[in-house]
């Protein structure tokens, strides 16, 4: 980026972002869009991350970023104060003091052609896929067939190799050698789509953040057979979207792409640091 | 047990069970007590498990059990049918056809002196503990001090060694070498007690079924310091209670203990079979 | 039925039943369909009744029935247990132990061409009728004209003669000699359709289970004139449907009809045993 | 009443009425108190009835009544208009035009020492009784023992003889010859007190307005045995209170009793005119 | 009106009124239509007012009015009594005793071509206008352009001269000399249409009953610029409709107009009597 | 304030503020406390205002204030973003960028001994007063007697002289010459305390932000007599508290008072700029 070039404004950059991920395609309960910043401020450096944590904001400020683009909302629940006495308040304060605009693309990013589910489908090895179900007029999740059937553990190992590493790794419910071909998937927490997964005829459901009761009830309903479950980790299953979003944004900026630098956060916001006693080989 | 002895009735056995785990101490949203069976049926064999899954029921029937005592409710949400077309209906049908009475002690078992939290506190290495908070007049969770401070990884390794093994193992958020002494805990899903954990001054919170957002928000609020988090697995964190419950029941039966056989289920109802890419050593 | 014939499965029988009374035509608050049983079990004897009471279930088991088809749901409100300590639980247990599948056709049976309202219209003497009103896209109740006007008491006496006898008989609000021709009707409890009845221009409304306040308010709104009210008894007004349902089922089974026996319950589930002081002649 | 005496004001009469039936003892959902009239108007003639129907109001106006005291509210549900296009509006208009004050004592009259339940207990033949249950700090219903056990039909015949006659008579669920002694009762609609009735150890429950499902479920729960049910008719079970209320009012007025005339309405507001096919003898 | 002419009935008059102001165009929360009276009563004198207060009713009775037509409902919230102990009850009683039918045209009068907003638009000096927004299929408020831009104080002075005088006068938020041309307006309380006002591009919003917080927040959102606010007083902003309604009614009656007299109430129902310390000149 | 003195921290100042106005005494729906800022920041200059508007914040920043203490919450309704595209977001951004901590004392300031109602009572001329009513255990409003009865206009003129001037002045409903002595009052919007005002026996109720319907209904209920109404303006009725709060704070700081400067905002946040057609003399 040449210094003599006039910087883009936040208004100009967001027009492009919202062309890729229109806010009107977000679910009604969601909170997407601009959280901090001024539409007239210049944007020269763009930082991308899954979560707007304090460490991510620090990283963005250290990198002189003007815009932080995240998947998860900072203020999904409304706040009545932004004093530094709460972590959310401290995050807002850090952003405002650091002149970092925060912009959120959440459920609207899930459903876009260059969105979270598309990136996860690619990581699973699907060449083509269709919506798993619909909600408020938008496609939720994807389902598609692998080029050919393969053992469950092969699918999972390929996926794990394409996702960023986490302490907990990828958890699987099903026999490692069972052959699977039809894959349903939803990035992030997917425990309310089991009915759609069963209707889709999927052999395996790749999602994340599955708790004991929903997972066990889904396995009971399957009576031990398909669909098997893969919990890829909430953060990891969405982080794969960041490179795709970065490319999509630069493409969409066209000639203006030369006016901005983009960076993908290297902060791992999966909360887990280490595990004890996990079993790669599987349980009997 | 001598064949000539007269068997205890279900009514008599439940009187003893409810003395240990009074239904009136369950939370108002919970569904505890007798799910299938007849108070006049004889009880000679008692089976104990965390979850009343189809495999557990099959195991109980194969063992000629008359009473299956579980921690988790089978019908927490009301049902309008028990046809075998649903897994819940198939479970009820199997129990009724097999003459197996199902009895649930859930949140009332959490709070009892010989309950889930007491068993988990013991597994953590706490000699003494007090209630973490109160709800509807009942103590929720426990908090106490280890005999002396120790590195976080030492605590977790001891705990992992005392819990039944699972595919996912025990996940930890915090530096392995950080010294901890004050431990808060709640068996099962504990993501709504973070306020109480912070108030308790705990260095580490041992619980289970923590999802991405609550765990990450708790870590943000902690600004990277205490309280650290340990997710011991929902099933594992409650399975430790079964031997304690078995002992308590036999003790409470007194002379009648000779009239019953008790067995702890060997079915692992943690839904996960294997993991790929977990990191024992921890993430940087 | 020849013993050498292969029995129909429950799945096959229900396909025919649901062709006559599609579950999708039930009201959203209703609970229809299969309550107990397994779709693969054989069905040789079918029992029909209004209410699945303990006596009706005993009668079905004594008759070796495989399928009990009732109008009223057993579990309209969800249950969390089916232990024999409650009457509902005892009923479920009796059905499951006796291998009797219970299937409910309730508001979907009300609206069908060969349904409850059609049977009651026939009993009233109506040759033709149209929907009284609509709810959730389904016709509720019927309204039509008698071939010619007749005194109110003549209509009621004919109706009483065609319904099964009950202790309370048929109650009427209106002058015995008043001439009526247009008849609105709804089997079972009809106290929320008074607006539709008034709009329909009916001279008399035949329904059941009318309590003091709704009945009196309807009479006040009528200022003593039409529409008059006839309370035919909840059970009696629906029992007339059983023979029609039996015929419809056998017709729809076609050649397979020879593979099943059908029986209509002889248990009267109207709760009243006798009355004291009723006035056939009417009050001044 | 001498013409030269100064008439009591409505304010003075209501002070006495509210001493007998304090509005503060009504249930929170109820609507008791003054519905039409002016506290300064004179009151010379008082009319008592169960329901403020148009016929009852006509009777009161024809009798030159200044105050109509009823058990049932006229406007239990709020109204937004009193035009004569609705029956409720016509009733209000008739009262206001006729200078008839309407005063309602409903659930506060149920619970009073000289109230509806006390009158019904007397009609049942109980010498003494205690509250059946409590709601919002007030006693609901009564339960007590007959001087000695007697056949169910004897109890019902005595009761029917003491209540005003109605077309439907008194309906009974239970064997005519069964011996009963402990009687629970609630005037008017009593279908939400079955739990209390069971706890009370009553042999029979005398109430009214029982619909098919609650009555049948109560009989199922009783497995054919006690408590039996008696449905005495809503109006009849409350009309017995009117003479008691009249006496109580005159007693409480003391010397002022000479200044008022009181009349009990002769209009039967039970909505039913005649029945066809009722069975005095009972059903098999 | 000739005495020998047969009077119109209320039914006939209301048919004409409802042709002008169809009740079906009222908002669903509203309570419009006939509040007191009988459709068969004769109507010779019609009284028009904004509020059915006790003074207005007295004025109507003194004028021998048969019909009082008001904008505001008397019983917007349902009532359970019309005794004179409450002001609402006293008003109903006065109307009924005085044989005055009360008819309300509220939100249906707001939206009509000859309605409240049309009258207020005329008073503002707008020749043409379009709906400001829509609700439940009806147009809410109006927006239009003045023939040419003019200072804010000129607009307000013209408006104040056309509205009836009140103690509080017309309050304005904005610089007196600011030039305005596009005017949004809503008679009565308009504090929930600010979003629509901003979208309309209006320079000024004429409405009433604006409280501190909504007004201040609207001014903050405007950052001191347009849209400015004019609070014309609730009563005054609706009273301008009465002459228009009177003309519309007489026109619509056609030949029957000779059978009725119409009068506009001279009672000012704006609650304020005088002010102290108001500033015509404005605050710095 | 000497420059060599160590500044107080925000934590230290708020401890004193919360001693005067404990947050626990705020109503449950309210949002009081710290909105922006860091407890460790130094506080040398304190600004006091009723509303945290953009102009007030600008004034505070221009004055180098570290703490802005306001009565009204900035974020009473939760927000999901603080970008400058909304006025609320711009206000938060201005505060954070300007290092101005915002602290709100709202309903807790209403009820305190040195609170809003106390200041308004003083402005009314009351020497002593007691709570008007209670809510959530806190006193709402005040009521007391003037030293002697005086004409209504005298009371209002004295009050108007003690309140800051506003465009709309003080509005009064009642005859100017009516004698009044007992005064009920509530600063800010008081339209939900009319029942308490009537019970208190007050001759006049001084409050603000009264809309047409509540004010008119209160006047109707009063039938033209007491209690009369005074609407003093929302901002003005609360601004009188600022000098009292300033004194209370300095007193409570004790020796530390020398370490802070305090200023009362000169920005008038009453939204109205001028009025046209107000009537000092009153309406006939």
Residue from D118, D234, D141 nearest D192 by CA: D141
> Is pLDDT at D5 greater than 80 in this prediction?
no
Quote the CA–CA distance of B182 and B129 in Å, as a whole number.
10
- What is the structure's pLDDT at D283? 64
Quote the CA–CA distance of C206 and F85 in Å, as a whole number.
64
Quote the CA–CA distance of E123 and C136 in Å, as a whole number.
48
> Is pLDDT at E121 greater than 60 in this prediction?
yes
Angle between helices E87-97 and D87-97 (to 10 degrees): 80
Quote the CA–CA distance of F202 and A94 in Å, as a whole number.
53
D189 touches chain C (CB under 8 A): yes
Q: Look up residue B232 and give its two tokens.
A: 């011991």
> Is pLDDT at D279 greater than 90 in this prediction?
no
Best to test chain D binding among E52, E68, E83 (most D CBs inside 10 Å): E83
C76 touches chain B (CB under 8 A): yes
Residue F231 CA to its chain's centroid (Å): 14
Instruction: Say whether F81 and A35 touch across the interface (CB within 8 A).
Output: yes
Instruction: Say whether C173 and D272 touch across the interface (CB within 8 A).
Output: yes
Hey, is C207 helix, strand or coil?
strand
If one compares A6 and B185, the residue with the highest pLDDT of the two is: B185
Best to test chain A binding among F96, F99, F107 (most A CBs inside 10 Å): F96
Sort strands F101-104 and F130-135 into parallel, antiparallel or unpaired: unpaired
Walk along chain B (284 residues) and give the pLDDT tens digit of each residue: 455 579 999 999 999 999 999 999 999 999 999 999 999 999 999 999 999 999 999 999 999 999 999 999 999 999 999 999 999 999 999 999 999 999 999 999 999 999 999 999 999 999 999 999 999 999 999 999 999 999 999 999 999 999 999 999 999 999 999 999 999 999 999 999 999 999 999 999 999 999 999 999 999 999 999 999 999 999 999 999 999 999 999 999 999 999 999 999 999 999 999 999 998 766 65
Instruction: Say whether D268 and C275 touch across the interface (CB within 8 A).
Output: no
Confidence of residue A1 (pLDDT cuts 50, 70, 90): very low
Torsion of CA D204, D210, D211, D212, to 10 degrees: 10
- What is the structure's pLDDT at B280? 77
CA distance B214 to chain C (A): 30
If one compares D5 and D130, the residue with the highest pLDDT of the two is: D130
Gap between the terminal Cα atoms of chain B: 57
Confidence of residue D1 (pLDDT cuts 50, 70, 90): very low
CB F77 within 8 A of CB F45: no
**How large is the ipTM?**
0.96
What are the φ and ψ backbone dihedral angles of D113, each rounded to 5 degrees? Answer: -55, -35
Torsion of CA B55, B60, B63, B67, to 10 degrees: 180
Query: Can chain C be said to touch chain B, i.e. do they have 3 or more Cβ pairs within 8 angstroms?
Result: yes
Sort strands D130-135 and D101-104 into parallel, antiparallel or unpaired: unpaired
Low-confidence ranges of chain F (pLDDT < 50): 1
The pLDDT tens digits of the residues spanning D13-22 come to: 999 999 999 9
Confidence of residue A279 (pLDDT cuts 50, 70, 90): confident
Instruction: Say whether D153 and C208 touch across the interface (CB within 8 A).
Output: no
Look at the pTM and tell me if it is higher than 0.90: yes
Quote the CA–CA distance of A118 and A142 in Å, as a whole number.
8
The pLDDT tens digits of the residues spanning A134-149 come to: 999 999 999 999 999 9
Query: Which residues on chain D are in Cβ contact (under 8 Å) with E79?
Result: 75, 78-80
- What is the structure's pLDDT at B1? 44
Which residue shows structure tokens 């998937």?
A185
- What is the structure's pLDDT at F1? 44
What are the φ and ψ backbone dihedral angles of A64, each rounded to 5 degrees? Answer: 55, 35
Quote the CA–CA distance of B35 and D167 in Å, as a whole number.
46
CA distance F224 to chain A (A): 43
B148 touches chain A (CB under 8 A): no
> Is pLDDT at D167 greater than 80 in this prediction?
yes
Quote the CA–CA distance of C104 and C51 in Å, as a whole number.
10
Residue C27 CA to its chain's centroid (Å): 15
Hey, is E45 helix, strand or coil?
strand
Mean pLDDT of D147-168: 97
Chains with ≥3 CB–CB distances under 8 Å to F? A, E
Confidence of residue C280 (pLDDT cuts 50, 70, 90): confident
F77 touches chain E (CB under 8 A): no
CB neighbour list of residue E32: distance below 8 Å, 6 or more residues apart: E23, E26, E73, E104, E105, E106, E107, E108
The pLDDT tens digits of the residues spanning A154-172 come to: 999 999 999 999 999 999 9
**Long-range CB pairs of C96-100, under 8 A, 24+ apart, other chains included:** C96/B82, C96/B92, C96/B93, C96/B96, C96/B97, C96/C36, C97/B96, C97/B97, C98/C57, C98/C60, C98/C61, C99/C37, C99/C41, C99/C66, C100/C36, C100/C37, C100/C47, C100/C57, C100/C60, C100/C61, C100/C65, C100/C66, C100/C67, C100/C68
Mean pLDDT of C147-176: 97
If one compares D29 and B281, the residue with the highest pLDDT of the two is: D29
- What is the structure's pLDDT at A3? 54
CA distance B13 to chain C (A): 15
- What is the structure's pLDDT at D37? 98
CA–CA distances in Å: residue F225 to residues F153, F196, F204: 15, 16, 10
Neighbour count for residue C98 (Cβ, 10 Å):
18
- Cα-based angle A108, A112, A117 (whole degrees, multiple of 5): 95
Hey, is B226 helix, strand or coil?
coil
CB neighbour list of residue E175: distance below 8 Å, 6 or more residues apart: E152, E228, F273
- What is the structure's pLDDT at E1? 44
The pLDDT tens digits of the residues spanning D105-134 come to: 999 999 999 999 999 999 999 999 999 999
Q: What is the mean pLDDT of chain E?
A: 96
Quick one: three-class SS letters along F58-109? HHHHHCCCCEEEECCCCCCCCECCCCCCCHHHHHHHHHHHCCCEEEECCHHH
CB neighbour list of residue A180: distance below 8 Å, 6 or more residues apart: A146, A149, A150, A151, A152, A155, A203, A204, A226, A228
The pLDDT tens digits of the residues spanning A196-224 come to: 999 999 999 999 999 999 999 999 999 99
> Is pLDDT at A178 greater than 90 in this prediction?
yes
CB A190 within 8 A of CB A209: yes
CA distance C283 to chain D (A): 5
Sort strands E8-9 and E42-43 into parallel, antiparallel or unpaired: antiparallel
Quote the CA–CA distance of F102 and D80 in Å, as a whole number.
47
> Is pLDDT at C226 greater than 50 in this prediction?
yes
| CA-CA-CA-CA torsion sign (F49, F52, F54, F59) | positive
Chain E with chain F: Cβ pairs closer than 8 A:
188
Q: Look up residue B223 and give its two tokens.
A: 């600004």
CB B24 within 8 A of CB B30: no
Mean pLDDT of C114-140: 98
E164 burial level (CB within 10 Å; 0-12, 13-18, 19+): middle
DSSP D259: G
A50 touches chain B (CB under 8 A): no
Residue C180 pairs in a beta bridge with C150
């Amino acid at each position: 980026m040449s210094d003599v070039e006039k910087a883009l404004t936040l208004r100009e950059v967001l027009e492009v972002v919202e062309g890729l991920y229109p806010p009107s395609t977000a679910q009604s309960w969601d909170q997407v869009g601009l959280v901090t910043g001024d539409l007239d401020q210049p944007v020269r450096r763009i930082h991308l991350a899954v979560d707007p944590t304090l460490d991510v904001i620090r990283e963005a400020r250290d990198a002189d970023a003007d815009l932080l683009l995240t998947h998860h909302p900072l203020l999904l629940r409304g706040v009545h104060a932004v004093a530094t006495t709460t972590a959310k308040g401290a995050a807002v304060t850090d952003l405002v003091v650091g002149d970092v605009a925060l912009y959120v693309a959440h459920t609207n990013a899930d459903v876009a052609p260059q969105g979270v589910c598309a990136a996860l489908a690619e990581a699973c090895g699907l060449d083509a896929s269709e919506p798993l179900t619909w909600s408020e007029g938008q496609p939720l999740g994807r389902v598609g067939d692998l080029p050919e059937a393969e053992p469950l553990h092969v699918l999972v190992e390929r996926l794990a190799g394409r996702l960023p590493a986490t302490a907990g790794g990828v958890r699987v419910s099903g026999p490692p050698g069972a052959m699977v071909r039809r894959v349903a998937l939803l990035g992030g927490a997917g425990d309310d789509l089991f009915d759609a997964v069963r209707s889709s005829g999927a052999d395996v459901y790749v999602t994340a953040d599955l708790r004991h009761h929903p997972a066990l009830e889904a396995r009971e309903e399957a009576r031990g057979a398909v669909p098997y479950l893969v919990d890829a980790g909430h953060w990891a299953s969405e982080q794969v979207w960041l490179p795709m979003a970065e490319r999509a944004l630069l493409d969409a900026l066209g000639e203006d792409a030369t006016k901005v630098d983009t960076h993908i956060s290297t902060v791992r916001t999966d909360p887990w640091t280490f595990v004890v006693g996990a079993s790669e080989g599987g349980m009997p």
